[in-house]
Amino acid sequence: MASTSDSDKPSVSNVEENRRRLCEEFATVAGSDTAVAQCYLAENEWEMERALNSFFEADMEKVFDVEDSPETDSGPAPKRIKTETKPQEDCIDLTKGSPSTAQKPSEEDDGKLSLITWNVDGLDTDNLGERARGLCSYLVLYTPDIVFLQELIPPYVQYLKKRAVSYLIIEGGEEGYFTGMMLKKSRVKFEGSEIVTYPTTQMMRNLLVTQVTFKDQKLCLMTSHFESCRGHAEERMKQLRVVMQRMKDAPDDVAVLFGGDTNLRDPEVAKVGLPSTVSDVWERLGKQEHCRYTWDTKANSNKSVTYISRCRFDRVYLRPATKDGVPRLAPDHMALVGMEKLDCGRYTSDHWGIYCSFSVG
């Protein structure tokens, strides 16, 4: 009888191995160490989503206090997918550029659509104020019409609202960490947005969808941060299917652009497959080697890890409008951004950002 009862119990080694795996996944998502992960998971009965929610309930509003204390916004936190059309009087636009550095785009470039997508690693709060200023400096340099951001936290968003007032900011979450979009007010007209939930995510992930117009061209913009860690491939592929279906089903007079930190591996994309109308922009531009790896611990030292990992986690997908007579969006350039160290000795993020430009014709 005793042996039968013992066989019904999970082995100690299996329980320990499962909990070790959960700690590693929590640490990866939260940017913490495994000791912190173990505390939060144990307090939440080893349920990943509950533990992450508990972790992100911690007050992170002090992240920018040292550098921005005179301008701290003490008002209530805004609801997500809220847009601000009027800058506060004490705002200084770090994305506007000075008269000596600002250059008027050529007539050819002025007709192109430009985009940056970037996981800014807001969960890493070390040097976050300086790294946020680093992001703004790249916005000055590239003047993108559209910016997709992942791993934002509330204080980072508040900083951008004060320092990037030439952009309209749309937030894709309620609390913790989330995605966002920035639209250049002088070039892109905001029409509306929505958040699409991923029903089985364990890491608070969703899809932010925004409708805009650019030079009379209707655009559907999408950004997301797919499930992290190798062990969550099935969930990640579910999320890719959601995105691809929405791209495929968009009206034929609308061009669709998706960009984000997908955490995808090539075999996962091959297993899901892309609709015939959707293309991977990096592949379409010839698979240029210098743009391949957006997560590269060999070149990026922000995480201070001992192993080398080089992956194309961050991707851009395009589905042009297909209706006759509607201008077609086509990619013509891609580059990685954020590859210069800041004065603090770190990079803007542990990911490189992707800059793309598109012709409209």
Listed range (100-114, 197-211, 247-261) with the worst mean pLDDT: 100-114
Give the pLDDT band of residue 108 (cuts 50, 70, 90).
low
Angstrom distance (rounded) from CA 306 to CA 107: 47
The average pLDDT across 71-96 equals: 48
The average pLDDT across 200-209 equals: 96
Catalytic residue, candidates 121, 261, 296, 350: 261
The predicted structure's pLDDT at residue 74: 38
Give the pLDDT confidence of 313-350 residue by residue, as tens digits.
999 999 999 999 999 999 999 999 999 999 999 999 99
Q: Report helix, strand or coil for 142.
A: helix
The predicted structure's pLDDT at residue 92: 60
Residue that wins the pLDDT comparison between 33 and 345: 345
Listed range (34-38, 93-97, 170-174, 316-320) with the worst mean pLDDT: 93-97
Q: Which long-range CB contacts under 8 A does 305-314 form with residues at least 24 apart?
A: 311/265, 312/264, 312/266, 312/282, 313/119, 313/261, 313/262, 313/263, 313/264, 313/351, 314/117, 314/118, 314/119, 314/259, 314/260, 314/261, 314/262, 314/351, 314/352, 314/353, 314/354
pLDDT over threshold 60, residue 203: yes
pLDDT over threshold 50, residue 111: yes
The average pLDDT across 99-115 equals: 63
Domain 2-56 has CATH 1.10.8: yes
CA nearest neighbour of 225 among 212, 211, 240, 210: 240
The predicted structure's pLDDT at residue 66: 40
The predicted structure's pLDDT at residue 133: 94
Domain with CATH 1.10.8 in the chain: 2-56
DSSP 75: S
- What angle (nearest 5°) sits at the alpha carbon of residue 210, between those of residues 207 and 151? 45
Question: Mean pLDDT over all residues of the chain?
Answer: 86
Give the pLDDT confidence of 238-273 residue by residue, as tens digits.
999 999 999 999 999 999 999 999 999 999 999 999
The predicted structure's pLDDT at residue 106: 54
The answer to whether 72 and 65 are in contact (CB under 8 A) is yes
The predicted structure's pLDDT at residue 70: 42
Angstrom distance (rounded) from CA 39 to CA 52: 11
The average pLDDT across 68-75 equals: 41
Strands (E) in 199-293, as ranges, are 206-214, 217-225, 254-261, 279-280
Specify the amino acid at residue 156.
Y
The predicted structure's pLDDT at residue 215: 92
The predicted structure's pLDDT at residue 127: 94
Angstrom distance (rounded) from CA 122 to CA 278: 30
The average pLDDT across 121-144 equals: 95
The predicted structure's pLDDT at residue 91: 57
The predicted structure's pLDDT at residue 243: 98
Domain with CATH 3.60.10.10 in the chain: 66-360
Angstrom distance (rounded) from CA 223 to CA 117: 8
Give the pLDDT band of residue 11 (cuts 50, 70, 90).
low
Give the pLDDT band of residue 303 (cuts 50, 70, 90).
very high
Active site residue 65: no
The predicted structure's pLDDT at residue 84: 47
pLDDT over threshold 80, residue 103: no
Angstrom distance (rounded) from CA 321 to CA 216: 13
Residue that wins the pLDDT comparison between 321 and 16: 321
CA nearest neighbour of 145 among 96, 112, 193, 98: 112
The model's pTM is 0.82
The predicted structure's pLDDT at residue 259: 98
The predicted structure's pLDDT at residue 235: 98
Residue that wins the pLDDT comparison between 16 and 310: 310
Q: Which CATH architecture has domain 66-360?
A: 4-Layer Sandwich (3.60)
Residue that wins the pLDDT comparison between 20 and 134: 134
